[in-house]
Structure 1
Amino acid sequence: MKKKINPSREWYVLYVKSRHERKIEALLKENNIETFLPLVKTVREWSDRKKIIESPLFPSYLFVKIDFRKESEKVLAIRGFCFFVRFGTEFAKIQEHEINSIKLLMEIDASMEVENNHIQPQVGELRKIEIGALGGLGCEIIKVNNENKIIVRIDSINQNILATIPSSYLTQLATV
C-alpha cells in the first residue's frame, strides 16, 4: 500500500529530553507521526570491555514530518517531549533533500578510502560534494593531508556532520 503524499507536510525539528530520543520516537510512531532519528554506531569502552552502541547523530534532536496546523498538538501531547526548535519567530524546518542525504549517509560508512589525484583542496575552502550520499551539499575543508576531513553544514538546524571523503568527490563552489 502506497503512502499518500501530503504537500503540506514538512520536516520539523524537535528538541527532546537528553537520552529520551528513542522513547519519544516510539511514542510518536504509535501516534502515526512520521519520524526520523539518525543513529550512528560508536565504540564505547569500559575498563573491562568494548561495545558498539548506536547513539543519535544529533543528540536531543528528532525530526517529525507533519502538517503543522493539523498535527502539532498531537506531537505536543507526547509525554517527555520538550519543544519544537525555533529560530526567532520561525519553527525550524529541515528540507527533504537534507533528510534524504542524512538517510543515505546512515546507510554507508562515512569514512572512505582516500584517492590520490590532482585536486588539492585547501583548509577553509568551501566546496560542493558531487558524488555519494552527501551529493549536492556544500561543505568546508577542515584538514588536508592524506585525507580530507570535511564539515557538512545542515543549515536548517545549525548542525554539522564531520566526514572523510575522497577529493574526487568535491568540486569548487560557484562564486556569485
Structure 2
Amino acid sequence: MNWYVVYTKPKWEKRVSDQLLKFGVNCFCPLVNKVQQYSDRKKKVVVPLFNNYVFVQLAEKDRNLVFGSPGVIRYLFWLGKHAIVKDNEINTIKDWIAKGDKLDISVSQHKVGDTIKLNSSPFLDQNAIIKEITNKHYILVLESLGCILKIEHLA
C-alpha cells in the first residue's frame, strides 16, 4: 500500500489523524515540540511538522475513506498524480522525530539564490534554493517536494 498526502483544514491535522485512526486508516501526523512565545510567557506546545498535511497509507480502492473526516479537504497532487511518499521517507521522518534532534544547518557561507544539499534529517540529500537569510531564520525552497522550509536559528 502507498502512503498518500491528505491536505487538511488549517489547525485540523491532529483531529483528522485521530478521526482517520477511528475509521481504521493507517495514518501518520508527525508532531514536534515547539516553544510558543505569548505576550506574557513562553509555553511548550506540540505542533504538526507539516502544516495542513497528514500522511495516510491506503490501498488504491480505499482512497475515498479519508473524506469521512470533515477536516479533510483533498489529496495532494504532484505533476497531475496523487503525491506518493515512500516508506523509507516516512520511516526517516519517524526516526528523526523519535531522536528529538534539533536541526542545525548553517548556511553562513552561502547567499540568496544558491542551491544547497541538505545534510540533516528529515530532508536528507534534498536540494534546496536559498530564498532568504535573516538574523533569525533561513527560508529554503524545496522544489522536489513543492514546499518552503523555514529554519530558525537555534538559541
TM-score w.r.t. length of structure 2: 0.72
Q: 1:149 to 1:73 in 2, by over 3 A?
A: closer
2:117 is aligned with what amino acid? K
- Residue 115 of structure 2 aligns with an amino acid whose one-letter code is L
Q: 2:26 aligns with which of 27, 34, 39?
A: 34
Mapped pair 1:63 → 2:52 = no
Which residues in structure 2 correspond to 1:106-145 (within 5 Å)? 106=97, 107-110=100-103, 112=104, 120-129=109-118, 131-133=119-121, 134-142=123-131
What's 2:82 paired with? Answer: 91
Unaligned runs of at least 5 residues, structure 2 = none
Q: How does 1:39-50 map to 2 (within 5 A)?
A: 39-50=31-42
Deviation at 1:114, TM superposition (A): 5.3
Superposition CA RMSD, Å: 3.4
Return 5+ residue gaps in structure 1 as ranges: 1-8, 166-176
> Which residue of the partner structure matches residue 160 of structure 1?
148
Distance in 1 separating the partners of 2:131 and 2:144: 18
Residues 108 and 72 of structure 1: CA distance in aligned 2, closer, same or farther (over 3 Å): same
The CA distance in 2 between the partners of 1:164 and 1:144, in whole Å, is 10
Question: Shift of residue 100 of structure 1?
Answer: 3.7
CA distance in structure 1 between the aligned counterparts of 2:107 and 2:10, rounded to whole angstroms? 39
Q: Equivalent residue of 1:18, what SS?
A: coil
Q: Note the C-alpha offset of 1:97.
A: 4.2
CA distance in 1, matches of 2:142, 2:69: 30
Moved more, 136-145 or 146-155: 146-155
Q: Which moved more, 1:43-52 or 1:19-28?
A: 43-52
**TM-score normalised by the chain length of structure 1:** 0.65
| Structure 1 residue 150, shift from structure 2 partner | 6.4
> What's the offset of the Cα at 1:17?
1.9
Q: Secondary structure at the match of 1:155?
A: coil
Residue 151 of structure 1 pairs with residue 140 of structure 2: yes
Question: C-alpha distance in 2, partners of 1:78/1:105?
Answer: 28
Contact 2:105/2:120 (CA < 8 Å) preserved in 1?
no
Identity among equivalent pairs (%) = 26
SS in 2 for 1:47: coil
> What residue number does 1:77 align with?
68
Give the 3 Å change call, closer, same or farther, for CA 38–82 of structure 1 in structure 2: same
Name the stretch that deviates more: 36-45 or 54-63: 36-45
Q: 1:12 aligned to 4, 20, 26, which one?
A: 4
